[in-house]
Amino acid sequence: MTFDEILEQVLDILRRRGRVSYRALKRQFDLDDAYLADLQAKIVEVHRLGVDQDGTMLIGSGIPPIMILAYPSHAARLPDTRHPPIENRLCA
């Protein structure tokens, strides 16, 4: 399995469960410490889709599931589409 495939599966776990321990990831994917550190860096520092808790687990950052899977590198910069811009609300 490639790094990106494992990354997608870990993100899916975070989306579904909200958290996962590093020990569980090591066992499930047969990871060594360096590989796990690379995954953690990618999720926490690069994509900002999770946070480390006391060096024992990853906690999902609360990004909606569709954003995690469809826009992993741009999720933090997506515009808020819940409300139309103020100009559109004034004209309505």
Consecutive 10-residue averages of pLDDT for the chain (92 residues): 94 93 96 96 92 93 56 47 52 52
The answer to the question of residue 31 being in a domain is yes
49: Cβ contacts below 8 Å, ≥ 6 apart: 11, 14, 43, 60, 61, 63, 68, 72, 75
Q: Is 90 part of any domain?
A: no
Residue 78: how many CA atoms within 13 Å on its side-chain side? 16
Q: Residue 36 and residue 65: Cα distance in Å, rounded?
A: 22
Task: Indicate the pTM of the whole model.
Answer: 0.65
Residue 13 counted as domain residue:
yes
Q: What is the pLDDT of residue 12?
A: 93
Angle at 27 (CA atoms; ends 59, 44), nearest 5 degrees? 30
Whether 25 is in a domain gets the answer yes
CATH number, domain at 64? 1.10.10.10
Residue 83 lies in a domain: no
Is 82 inside a domain boundary?
A: no
Please report the pLDDT score of residue 61 as a whole number.
84
Using DSSP, state whether 69 is helix, strand or coil: helix
Our count of domains for the chain comes to 1
- The DSSP element (H or E) to which 38 belongs, if any, is helix 33-41
Q: In Å, what is the CA distance from 61 to each residue of 30, 32, 67?
A: 25, 24, 11
